[in-house]
Amino acid sequence: MPPDQPALAWPGGRRTAAALLDDISVLAARAATLGDDEAEPLAIISASRPRLVAGVLAALALGRPALPLDPTRADLAALLATCAPAGALRDADISLPVTLPSAELATGTTAATTAIWRQTRRWPMDSGAAALLVPTSGTGGPPRIAMLTATALEAHVAASSRLLPPFSADDRWLVCLPMASIGGLAAMWRVYSRGGALAVLESGFDAFGARTLMAEGASHVSLVPAMLDAIADVQEVAPPRGLRCLLTGGGPLSEPQAARARALGWPLWQGWGMTESASHVAAGPVDAHWTPGVVGRPLPGVSVDSAGHDGPLRIGGPMLMSGYARPGLRPGDGLDAQGRFVTGDTGEWLPDGRLRILGRADDVIVTGGVNVHPEGIEARFAQCRGAGEVAITARPDARWGSVLVALYTGQATPGQLAAWARAELPGHWRPREFRRVTALPRNAMGKLRRSELPWL
């Protein structure tokens, strides 16, 4: 990549490889004054996604574990206490663009994007120490911080690159996700270790900004399903140019969302993974044979099985975290005795070897002695006109143990939704009550916070 091409781009701004290397050098010098122990983590706290990228790369250039955080998180203090970082780079410390002379970096011979990774590869790849400290989404309980080694992240990148459409030094990966999430951080690692360019949104999700960056030539895009319709609705910009992979994950993809993307000619893929596994561990194309819940096949080197009949899925592989962080980064818990990660998801294998996710094990509702997965019902309601967003919950019932209740945001009446359910859903999937709500609680990744659904 020529030195004047952007290595980091966002709506209204960009940094060339040479300029970003200078930014990293300046930030690393500032960060080096924070703490005496090189093994102590460094927090990077910013709502600006470009600044988070630069700060994380600076921490890695020093060989320091990087803890990227969104300053708007309500649990920010608790997360900082969990890792006890030596210090933090904040917005006042990370002023982009900043370009100061550096004898080592300003030679003009290392301006290609790969030089960024050569600078950060000072990190001891085989040390077993954490390189990234990534907070979990917190939808299934209190948020924790996964410790991911450089070896685990490299293993994810290597396995993912063997399954997804190829990404090269001439390509650009657009991340619509928060850069403090594993989806954003794994894409950053993937891009700079392969020599390509990274595109991010400035702060928060911006459908127009995403479409603009897609029109400028994003070859790969990372997003969650909830963003698809908003991006597709943007008509004021040119069609995507050079798009080869639109990777969704972090939540269920509905058939209407998939059909709309296919109609637009977008190469849609669905992935499944989590923070603890350094991003997706299964992925597959969303083609004409796709059905809701299908997340493709496991990445090479990944094993997925069930912990007992109808039990949660377990993941094995070299990309797993080393444990949940504790002060001093002492080895924490989070893996079973065989070193596998027990997820909260249940699933089944299709005859062709693809994996279908049924839902969260702890979200299962027992009604009339039948186990019901809310996500499957919610995916079906995506086809119901006027329903809007739907969340399935339950209330206690003396006869059935519990009965299903649908919370929805659309304009249809409860009677209209009940009639649709009678015609389209099997009996054990039919809600007995329908309640309209203003909005459903979601986190920054678009995941439904079931624990915050109205109490029934």
| Count of alpha carbons within 13 angstroms of residue 81, beta-carbon side | 5
φ, ψ dihedrals at 417, nearest 5° = -70, -40
The continuous run of DSSP H or E covering 416 comes out as helix 414-424
What is the percent of the chain with per-residue pLDDT over 70, rounded to a whole number? 87
- The predicted-structure confidence for 25-78, as pLDDT tens digits, reads as follows 888 888 888 876 677 899 999 999 999 999 999 898 888 899 999 998 888 888
Q: Which of 243-264 are b and which e, b meaning 16 or more Cβ less than 10 Å from the residue's Cβ?
A: bbbbbbbbbbbbeebbebbeee
- Which pLDDT band, with edges at 50, 70 and 90, does 164 fall under? very high
- Which pLDDT band, with edges at 50, 70 and 90, does 100 fall under? very low
| Count of alpha carbons within 13 angstroms of residue 362, beta-carbon side | 9
pLDDT at res. 125: 52
Domain 6-358 sits in CATH 3.40.640.10: no
Task: State the chain's mean pLDDT as an integer.
Answer: 85
- The predicted-structure confidence for 312-367, as pLDDT tens digits, reads as follows 899 999 999 999 998 777 777 899 989 999 998 889 999 999 999 988 777 778 78
Across 432-447, average pLDDT? 84
What contacts 103, CB < 8 A, 6 or more positions away?
none
- Which pLDDT band, with edges at 50, 70 and 90, does 123 fall under? low
pLDDT at res. 449: 80
CA distances to 97, 300, 367, 444 from 205, in Å: 22, 32, 38, 9
Across 142-156, average pLDDT? 90
CB–CB of 124/131 below 8 Å? no
pLDDT at res. 103: 29
Domain 364-452 sits in CATH 1.10.1060.10: no
* DSSP single-letter state for residue 59: H
Domain spans of the chain, in order of start: 6-358, 364-452
- Do the first three CATH levels of 6-358 and 364-452 match, i.e. the same topology? no
